[in-house]
Structures are given as C-alpha cells and as structure tokens.
Amino acid sequence: MITILIVDDHKIIADGLERLMNETEAVRVTGKAYSAAGCWELLKGGQPDVLLLDISMPDGSGIELCPKIKKKYPYVKVLMLTNYGELATISRALDAGADGYVLKSSDPEELVKGIRTVALGERFLCEDVNAALQNNTLSPIELTRREMELLQLIAEGYTLHELAGKMCLGTNTIRGYRQKLNIKLGAHNTVQLLQKAKALNLV
C-alpha cells in the first residue's frame, strides 16, 4: 500500500483526488492540505511515500517548496500535479527535485501509474509532457490575455490597488494572477519578473 498526501489549493480538487485515490487498492490518502503551511503541518505528523504537490498555492509555489521538502524529508517522493504545461515551468520543477510531473488533464490511470513509478524511485512524466519534452513542442512561455494585460500594467508601475481598479478585479484575484506570472517566468519578485519579461520581449 502506497501512502500519499495531497496538497492543492482547491479543496474540491483535493477532495475529489482523495476519493479517486482511495478507490484504488494500491494507494491510500493519509492527509490533505490546501497551502504550503498546511503541507508542512501534515509532514510533521508523518511522512507519506508520495506527496502530490500542486504548483500554485496561496502562500507560495510548489516549485519553491519542493527542494525544501526534499532536504528535510529526503525519502518522500514528490509528484507534481498541476495545470502548468509550459516547458520552462516543467524544467524548473524537475530541477527543483520533483520526482515526477503529471498534468491534471491526465487520466486517473496515468496518475496512479505515476504514483507507483515515483514510489519505486523512478522518474515519471505523464504522456503529454514526456512527448512534448522529447519533441520540444511545449510553449516556453504561454501567457493568457489577462496575464499579458497585468504584466504590461506592472511594467507601467501601478500598485496592487491601482491594478485591481484598472482591471476591474479584486486584489486577491490580482495576487493570484501575479503568482501565476511569477511561476511561469520563474521570478521571485517584481524586479525579477520585469527583467525576465523584458528579456523575452513580453513588455
């Protein structure tokens, strides 16, 4: 029996994954968390064989969290389960020590295969990611229209509340978009974000 922890900032997704995984004879979910802080609390209580880790969370990035987890709990296998399919994001996750990478659009059977594979100490990439990496067909950086709009406004120097007003969105929504931009461009702050955006001719 392979024990797993699920860390995903969307409770509905985490709950659905738990039900799905517990229907599989070889896998048992021992806990769920919806944030990086919650992840650490779970790990303090006991380490699983495999940690299913999302990249985007309200209090941090799974890519930044991964090497810290691997350092403190080296026997825990980290399987990224995310919607981010950009080549740059996948590469950063693997460089950060992730044992595998699965897109949320993958079939449940493929996710279970990924869990089993990394539990055995082998790297796993879902079929779409593996094929795209080999053929280099994944988009290096793929931003939505809203993300591009936000990036341009950030480059113009607007504050968080000004950005919210300009885009007619709540500040929490703007923070969410900002985090996604940081993840996609591999930035940790506004200065890095703009430097990388300029290097890629995005602003």
Q: 113: domain CATH number?
A: 3.40.50.2300
**150 and 131 share a domain?**
no
**9 and 104 share a domain?**
yes
Residue 94 forms part of a structural domain: yes
pTM of the full structure: 0.77
User: Dihedral of the CA atoms 62, 68, 69, 75 (nearest 10)?
Assistant: 130
Half-sphere exposure (Cβ direction) of 87: Cα atoms closer than 13 Å? 11
Structural domain for 33, as ranges: 2-135
Tens of pLDDT, residue by residue over 127-183, are: 988 877 777 655 567 788 888 899 889 888 888 889 989 888 888 888 888 888 888
Tens of pLDDT, residue by residue over 24-60, are: 888 999 999 999 999 999 999 899 999 999 998 888 8
Burial degree of 21 (CB within 10 A; 0-12, 13-18, 19+)? buried
**8 and 59 share a domain?**
yes
**37 and 106 share a domain?**
yes
**25 and 44 share a domain?**
yes
**177 and 83 share a domain?**
no
Q: Pairing mode, if any, of strands 56-57 and 60-61?
A: antiparallel
